[in-house]
Structure 1
Amino acid sequence: MSETGLKMEDGREERRMEVYRTLCAESAGHPNADSWARMLASRATGFGEMPERLGLAPRQFDMLMARHFPDTDSSRFLAGPSLDSERAQERQELRALIMTHCAEPSEEHEWFADVLASGCMGGSHLWHDLGLWSRKDVTAVIECNFPALKAKNDRDMKWKKFLYKQLCLQEGIYICRSPSCEVCDDYKNCFSPDQ
C-alpha cells in the first residue's frame, strides 16, 4: 500500500519515493523543504491534481527551486495542466484569504498561498490535490506558515471545506442549511478524518 492508501501496481509510488529522497538529499535545508519535496515528487510522478509549476508563475517557481533545491534540474517538475483562467478570481480570493492569516508575509508565504489556492481547484481532498501524502501534511504546512489560519480551524474541519466556508462567511453568504455543524447531515463529510 502507498502512503495515499492506494495500491500502485505501476511503480509510481516507488518512483515518487525515489524522487522525494533525491530532493531531500539535494535540499538546502530550509524550513518547508520537506513539504515542497513531497509536492514536487508527486507532481513529477503523476500524483495529485496540481497545475504546471504547482500553480506558481515561472519566476516564482524558479525562485522556489533556487532557494530549496538549488542543484536540482527543475524541468521535470514543469509539466501539468495549465491553470483554469475561468477560476482565476476564485484562486485570487482564496490566496487573499490565506495571506490575511500571515503575520509577517514573505515570498515563501506567498508561494504557499498560491499553491494552496491552486490546490483548492482540484476535485479531491486538498492534501491529495496538492500531492501531499496525508491531511496531516496540509495541516503542518498551514500551521508552519499560517498559524492564525490553523488556530481558526479549531474544530479540525477539512481544509478545502474550511477555506471555502471562510470565503462565504467573509462575503456574508451562508450556504449551510443547518443552524450548527453538529446537527448537519453532512457533519461527517466536513469533519471526519481522512488519511
Structure 2
Amino acid sequence: MSTLARDLTLDADRVYARLMVRAAGDGNDRAFASMIATRAAGGGALPAWLGLEVTDFHHLMAHHFPGISPDVLTAMDGQSPVTSNRLDEREELLQLLLTQRAERTPSEVWMAQVIAAGCMANDHLWQDLGLWDRKELTELMRRNFPELAARNDKDMKWKRFLYKQLCESEGIYVCRAPSCSVCADYHVCFGPEE
C-alpha cells in the first residue's frame, strides 16, 4: 500500500470512528459513516454533500450523528455535480429506489438520493459510494429496498442490476442471450468486484 493510500485510509478511519461514537442507532449509521469518512478523506466518487442538498445533508447528520458538525465534509465540497445531460437518468434511478423503499425510516429517502448520485460515477457502485466492501452495499440495499434487493437473486453487480430494472420497467430488453447463464458477457454482470 502506498503512503498516500495509507494516509487516506487512516484519515477515513479517524472520521469513521468519530462518527460512530455519536451514531444514533439507525440501521444506516454504519453505511453513511463509511460514505462520509471516505468522502472526507478524498475517496469515493460522490459529489458534494454525498449528492444531497446541503440542508438534507444537515438533516442526515442530525438524524444519524447528533452533535457532529455537518462541516466534516467542507474541505471536499467542491467536487463537480452531475452533468445536466444525466439529470433525467439520476431522477429515474431515484424514483425506482423511492418506490421500492421499506418505508421504515426517513433515512431511506437520503439513501435513495445518495445511491442515485453514486450511479452517475464510473466504478463499482460500492466503490463510487465510498463503502468499504460490496457486502456493505448488499446489506444496505436489503435494509432500505428489500423487495428490489430480493429481485437480485443471482447477485448481479448492483449498478448493472439497477439499470437493468430501469430498462425492464420501460419494456427494453437488451440482453444478447435468452438467459444470463448462457450469455457471453456473464462475467461483466456477475462475479467478484475487487
Using structure 2 for the length normalisation, give the TM-score: 0.92
Greater CA deviation, 117-126 or 82-91?
A: 82-91
In the alignment, residue 32 of structure 2 is paired with which amino acid?
A: W
Which segments of structure 1 move beyond 3 Å, counting only runs of 4 or more? none
Q: Match of 1:50?
A: 46
1:116 aligns with 2:115: yes
Aligned length: 189
**1:108-137 deviations in whole A, cap 9, x for unaligned?**
111111011100001000000000011111
In the alignment, residue 50 of structure 1 is paired with which amino acid?
A: L
- Decide whether aligned partners of structure 1 residues 194 and 179 sit closer, same or farther in structure 2, where only a CA change above 3 A counts: same
Q: Match of 2:181?
A: 182
Equivalent position SS for 1:49:
coil
Q: Match of 2:64?
A: 68
* Unmatched tracts of structure 2, length 5 or more: none
Of all paired residues, the percent bearing the same amino acid is 46
In the alignment, residue 3 of structure 2 is paired with which amino acid?
A: E
- Cα contact 1:109–1:145 (8 A) shared by 2: yes
In the alignment, residue 173 of structure 2 is paired with which amino acid?
A: Y
**1:28-67 deviations in whole A, cap 9, x for unaligned?**
2222111110000000001110000001112211100111
* Unmatched tracts of structure 1, length 5 or more: 1-6
Q: Match of 1:93?
A: 92
Q: Match of 1:9?
A: 3
Equivalent position SS for 1:98:
helix
Equivalent position SS for 2:3:
coil
Deviation at 1:85, TM superposition (A): 2.4
- Cα contact 2:16–2:34 (8 A) shared by 1: yes
- Cα contact 1:26–1:69 (8 A) shared by 2: yes
- Cα contact 2:102–2:143 (8 A) shared by 1: no
Match of 2:37 among 38, 41, 61: 41
- Cα contact 2:40–2:73 (8 A) shared by 1: yes
Equivalent position SS for 1:27:
coil
- Decide whether aligned partners of structure 1 residues 84 and 135 sit closer, same or farther in structure 2, where only a CA change above 3 A counts: same
